[in-house]
Amino acid sequence: MLGRLNHVAIAVPDLAAASAQYRTMLGADVTDPQALPEHGVTVVFIKLPNTKIELLEPLGEGSPIAAFLSKNPSGGMHHVCYEVEDILAARDRLRNEGARVLGDGEPKIGAHNKPVLFLHPKDFNGTLIELEQV
């Protein structure tokens, strides 16, 4: 069911500073910031030859990463995103296996204009998993 690793996401307290650090210290190719109000985050992507890194900053009230950053004030690894071919089939299979899908279980449109879902970290060894249909 799982395809490629699409990205690893890191929550950061200051997106501009983190982007600048990746650009200048690490010599990375960083996209412009993209606000995703429906997800409560602003993101940039760092393009690597084999995958991407997503940097996330809270956007608006009640951002889902605000609590994470209050526990991890300097930032930290937040989720991994795996590609799937059919997100509804993946969701139904996971539910049948007893995994919890976050939110109302309906895919939302993610940063790449493709449907995404998140799976409960307690069901996956403490790792928040994002699935993206490609």
Hey, which residues are catalytic here?
130
Using the rule CB under 5 A, is 57 a contact of Co ion? no
Amino acid at 18: A
Using the rule CB under 5 A, is 55 a contact of Co ion? no
Nearer to Co ion, 39 or 94 (CB): 39
Using the rule CB under 5 A, is 131 a contact of Co ion? no
At a CB cut-off of 8 Å and minimum separation 6, what does 99 contact? 119, 120, 123, 124
Least distance in Å: CB of 81 to Co ion? Answer: 5
Q: How far apart are CA 134 and CA 112, in angstroms?
A: 9
Q: 128 near 119, Cβ under 8 Å? A: yes
At 89, phi and psi to the nearest 5? -65, -40
Least distance in Å: CB of 41 to Co ion? Answer: 9
Nearer to Co ion, 54 or 57 (CB): 54
Segment near Co ion (CB under 5 A); pick from 1-9, 26-34, 85-93, 119-127 = 1-9
Segment near Co ion (CB under 5 A); pick from 13-21, 24-32, 61-69, 80-88 = 80-88
Using the rule CB under 5 A, is 87 a contact of Co ion? no
Q: Which of 41, 69, 130, 133 binds Co ion (CB under 5 A)?
A: 130
At a CB cut-off of 8 Å and minimum separation 6, what does 22 contact? 28, 30, 46, 53, 55
Q: How far apart are CA 75 and CA 7, in angstroms?
A: 17
Q: Name the residues that contact Co ion, by CB under 5 A.
A: 9, 54, 81, 130
